[in-house]
Structure 1
């Protein structure tokens, strides 16, 4: 009874606040739902992309904590019959050397390979044909830039999802979720390759490196699985740099995205060579995970952005209130985070608020 009353009061509060007032906001920040959010800030605007399966749509808003009134613009819708026509996932918008790029995942046949292909997989592998692709947009403003298809990023004709750019003093890199072999099916690891430019991979297959494998109990689905690697995943990598110390992290998602145990994990680059697996150190515990007391489950696939006045750091992520409904239950949320004394990110417990709005937001 108490739990039911609490839910009613929360709903009433959210309704009264319409998600955001002048000083507080509540999660989620987009009523329509969504997953795999990517947010950046440019010239006073927040820009967001997220998975809708069909195309790459860009949203923009003056405020971070309410996207219900945000404008949207179609950047790219592929024609049918191509290797990137269906199941467009996790698009990200990046500005690299003054040019806008979108990196995204897609496949040719709605995540459904023919039996003659899937029979080679050790486990069921519907995403066997997912690959990484790029768009290019010329112009200072991403809202007016014209985006065109640029390339497929070479992943050696193997499964690849959730790719992102990793910028380092030694060059530009592509980090993405990969399998050991083309028909493994599981586990999903994190791979890194070096880029010649934002649309061209320079590393041959012999130089591709795996920098994280889901070996820890909380990286597996179900939790602690021991019989095989099916459903064990590392995915959704994102670069995060400590603005004070310069420490470089890759924050990634572990376990499975339609499951309550989906969480965030951390790699830190402790050496000078991103292509050397031993230069990466994995934190042994999840750093952002479910909060059953607030019915915040399956929290993951995050991006990071500053408050309007640049004084605060914010995480934008997806989660679900009802974990039994899987992917369809995911909604987009945001919360402020800080930094630990050792320079690593200090994420809050996920929840619904109300929370204080970002500093400088009006």
Structure 2
């Protein structure tokens, strides 16, 4: 135990030094440059197994909406105001497809309605693209099934569909097998409406490059990225059964979008495995913008082992992208699951970020030893600028708040539903239960935090003053050990 504590202390000291050094080198060049604050920090994966492959992540009206492969007949959706909160956001059923297996759902807004495209196999029939339409502008629905999008002749196989808005017209890009050479290729079809194609698709890319043919020749999982008048169509190449699944790109060069000659393929992948970071098979992705519109982010799935393949081991990861001097997107390299990432710019507008400092100890409420799993400890530590001491308050009504940690994304929780003085406090997956609801009452700048379930106050246990001092719940008494500066 002594060794573990010292290791944690050293880890914290090194992290704090690293944060200070990074701040010196990454400071803005001009202090006149106003930038929105980043959101709560997080680590990947942002959504764990099993419903976490082939993700589509959109940002709309201050919330993120997330859908992914479920391997069942159901489409479920998560909603969160922050990327950090996606991990603990509940899954809500939005559509029952009636098929055997659903995968690669894609969420797209056209006009004031949302359209949910998904690939499904219906009782052994060819895998095809289906679509459902929302009743209004809420991405959570309700949704009404609108049928099969007929993209290939003879009710042919067509999967991984996504919309492309180009030159004032609507198209659908998807993956299908060519009748000429039987290669799984990228196709595009014109759309008469968001639910109906006006013609069958034509091929615009085949897996002919060496990097597209590892473990199997595949082009699939298209997603458009448009900026400064240029249209890029990104896609996944090679087979997902191996670690070399990766992302490639086409660019529209003008002319008829249905003609292969109107598209130019980049010779090399733009996103691929990072063995040093333990990331394998990154692909089948989507892009979204930060709430303030200044940043572009990628959501993708990947494995943590080279031996994992196309199954439920794949998890959703998120990171910010940049742009090259020539105007092309720079996706960088997939980061490790231990890399702490600052959230997208502008997230904090809807969720206040605070430090919680004890009046008696002058220490800050802290995610002890950088915990990230449910059950992670909460203690007090010397106040610093690390995300482990950032807490985000979300009002839940009646004067109560849910309090989530900026590093772990977990919520401050009354462990095991305790009601006796001395009951333990921990971090746990955020939920709607009273054990995670805290009433904040401020008098003369000092705040008490009362747990809704126990009725006890958050307390500096045993009047600790040293870094690592315990935090528990105790009968409310008005002493400085139960008074916190929340700011």
Q: TM-score range by the shorter chain?
A: 0.7 to 0.9
* 1:269 to 1:65, Cα distance in 2 relative to 1, 3 A: farther
1:1-362 pair list within 5 angstroms: 24-33=41-50, 34-54=52-72, 55-79=74-98, 85-109=99-123, 113=124, 129-143=126-140, 145-154=141-150, 155-156=152-153, 157-181=155-179, 186-203=182-199, 205=200, 208-222=201-215, 231-242=216-227, 245-326=228-309, 327-352=311-336, 353-362=339-348
Comparing 346-355 with 46-55, which one deviates more in the overlay?
346-355
Question: Matches of 2:39 and 2:178 in 1, distance apart?
Answer: 50
Q: Deviations for 1:252-274, whole angstroms, at most 9, x for unmatched residues?
A: 00001221000000010011321
Q: Which runs of 4+ in 1 moved over 4 A?
A: none
Range 324-333 or range 194-203, more displaced: 324-333
The Cα RMSD (Å) is: 2.1
Do the aligned residues in 1 keep the contact of 2:298 with 2:319 (CA within 8 Å)?
yes
Task: Check whether the contact 1:65–1:334 (CA below 8 A) recurs between aligned residues.
Answer: no
Alpha-carbon shift at residue 87 of structure 1 (Å): 1.3
Q: Which has the higher relative contact order, 1 or 2, with Cα contacts under 8 A spaced 6 or more apart?
A: 1
| In 1: Cα distance, 2:165 partner to 2:91 partner | 28
Q: 1: distance between equivalents of 2:62 and 2:46?
A: 19
Shift, 1:22, TM fit? 6.7
Output the TM-score relative to the length of structure 2. Answer: 0.60
2:129/2:158 contact within 8 Å kept: yes
How many pairs align? 308
1:120-164 per-residue CA deviation (whole Å, 9 max, x = no partner) reads xxxxxxxx7100110011112223x32011020112211111011
Alpha-carbon distance in 1 for matches of 2:237, 2:90: 32
Asked if the contact 1:308–1:358 (Cα under 8 Å) also holds between the matched residues in 2, the reply is yes
**Greater gyration radius:** 2
Name the CA distance, whole Å, in 1 between partners of 2:39 and 2:254: 44
Q: Any idea what SS the aligned residue of 2:211 has?
A: helix
User: SS state of the match for residue 173, structure 2?
Assistant: strand
Note closer, same or farther for the CA distance 1:281–1:76 as it changes in structure 2 (3 Å cut). same
Q: Tell me, which stretches of 5 or more residues in structure 2 are unaligned?
A: 1-6, 13-37, 349-487
Distance verdict in 2 for CA 1:58–1:23, change over 3 Å: closer
Instruction: Structure 1 unaligned segments of length 5 or more: list them.
Output: 1-7, 14-20, 80-84, 114-127, 223-230
Secondary structure of the structure 2 residue equivalent to 1:261: coil
CA distance in 2: counterparts of 1:107 and 1:283, whole angstroms: 32
